[in-house]
Amino acid sequence: MMERYPRFTLHLNHIAENAAKVAGLCAARGVTVEAVVKGVCADPRVAGAMLDGGCASLADSRVQNLAFLKKEFPTVPRTLLRIPMKSELEDAVRYASRSLVSVPESVAALDDECRAQGAEHAVLLMFDLGDRREGVVTDAEMGAFVAALKKASHVTLVGVGVNFGCFAGVLPSPSALRRLCLYRQAMEEALGYSVPLCSGGSTSTLALLESGELPAGVNHLRVGEAILLGRDVSRQRLVPWLRQDTAWLEAEVAEVRIKPSIPEGESGADAFGNLRVFADEGPRRRAIVAIGRQDVPAEALEPQTPGIKVLGASSDHTILDVTDSAEPLAWGSRVRFSVNYAAMLALMTSPYVCKDNTD
């Protein structure tokens, strides 16, 4: 049978190797690693590779994926990464071992749902330490959580956590993480029981671990991007001790033609509302590959063939300048791209992209 394109391939052995390196570095400093699998839509083969590499648990933002993970890995702890909506608490209790919470009302509601299901549930209390996404902002807010947790009979605080880099791009700092450790201590004293986890962020926190600046009290990280791609988008770096050859996209060429480099006629916004300006470089050889913004953001694609440039994309077509391509391209040729985390997330979500795994 002829292979179908576009095709997104994940190299499982390389992902497992990255997981082992991350888990090993963390273990040497008393930190456990939770594998974040939302970037691959909880693909069980990828999740298994991350577990084989030494990750202790799995995490995803969607309860639908957690349901799948529970079936595939029933004994592995599962964390709901997105703070739960009121409308999904039934599924959160049924499929997640623990949830991240940021409002005290969710603790009481989770406790009610646990009683209804005859279940127990753990929560991590999130603190906003600068990135301005979810979490407690002031010390005074902690009192409401203490009260809610003391009333709860089926919900237990298992940790405190923080998010960095995902909204405002704020990077983790030793001082912010020391504050998180103090919040953990304060919650233990107020509740009268041990709160074992201090979850200090995600891939962007690894740099502090590498430099020896991670506070000793931080003992848990939620890592996806570094393991899956060997990258750290928040710090705009390729992690030097990890592999980047873990995933690639192949798209098929549907047209190759020499065309003027500037448009002709009166111009308005493109299909996505952008006003674009083009430089006049004279006639250029262009290729169209059959993938577009419905599947992946064009700016997240990096051609692996030297000399190829991504010019932009519409919904279903990505336009390449291949004038200086190191390899000749014709109708039916395939172009391979490296991807970043945003591209991986979109490609794995798109039903129009074939997914493939290789050892």
Q: What is the pLDDT of residue 20?
A: 98
Q: What homologous superfamily is domain 247-358 in, according to CATH?
A: Lyase, Ornithine Decarboxylase; Chain A, domain 1 (2.40.37.10)
Residues 6+ apart with CB under 8 A from 28: none
Q: Which helix (H) or strand (E) holds 189?
A: helix 174-191
DSSP state of 88: G
Q: What is the dihedral of CA 47, 51, 54, 58, to 10 degrees?
A: 70
- What is the average per-residue pLDDT within 176-187? 97
Q: Which two tokens stand for residue 207?
A: 């740099």
Domain with CATH 3.20.20.10 in the chain: 11-235
Q: For residue range 16-58, what is the model confidence (pLDDT) as tens digits?
A: 999 999 999 999 999 999 999 999 999 999 999 999 999 999 9
CB 148 within 8 A of CB 104: yes
CB 10 within 8 A of CB 44: no
Smallest CA-to-CA distance from 85 within 64, 70, 71, 69 is with 64
Q: What is the pLDDT of residue 208?
A: 97
Q: What is the mean pLDDT of the chain?
A: 96
Task: Give the pLDDT band of residue 272 (cuts 50, 70, 90).
Answer: confident
CB 200 within 8 A of CB 160: no
Q: What is the pLDDT of residue 271?
A: 83
CA 208 to the chain's CA centroid: 19
Q: What is the pLDDT of residue 358?
A: 86
Catalytic pick from 38, 70, 151, 259? 38
- Report the relative pairing of strands 334-339 and 98-101 from DSSP bridges: unpaired
Q: What is the pLDDT of residue 131?
A: 95
C-alpha to C-alpha distances, 53 to 32, 227, 359, nearest whole angstrom: 12, 10, 14
User: Rounded to the nearest 5 degrees, what angle is found at the Cα of 212, between the Cα atoms of 206 and 218?
Assistant: 65
pTM of the model: 0.95
Task: Give the pLDDT band of residue 94 (cuts 50, 70, 90).
Answer: very high
How many angstroms separate the CA atoms of 344 and 40, rounded?
A: 7
* Position 276 pLDDT exceeds 90: no
Q: For residue range 115-153, what is the model confidence (pLDDT) as tens digits?
A: 999 999 999 999 999 999 999 998 889 999 999 999 999
Q: What CATH number was assigned to the domain covering residues 11-235?
A: 3.20.20.10
Q: For residue range 184-200, what is the model confidence (pLDDT) as tens digits?
A: 999 999 999 999 999 99
* Position 267 pLDDT exceeds 80: yes
* Position 1 pLDDT exceeds 80: no
- Report CA Rg, the chain: 23
C-alpha to C-alpha distances, 105 to 149, 281, 334, nearest whole angstrom: 10, 60, 52
Q: What is the pLDDT of residue 278?
A: 87
Q: Which residues pair with 156 in a beta bridge?
A: 122
Domain with CATH 2.40.37.10 in the chain: 247-358
- What is the average per-residue pLDDT within 161-173? 95
- Looking at per-residue pLDDT, the higher value among 139 and 89 belongs to 89
Query: Is 38 one of the catalytic residues?
Result: yes
How many angstroms separate the CA atoms of 202 and 223, rounded?
A: 5
* Position 318 pLDDT exceeds 80: yes
Q: Considering the chain, what percentage of its residues have pLDDT values greater than 70?
A: 100
* Position 183 pLDDT exceeds 80: yes
- What is the average per-residue pLDDT within 280-289? 96
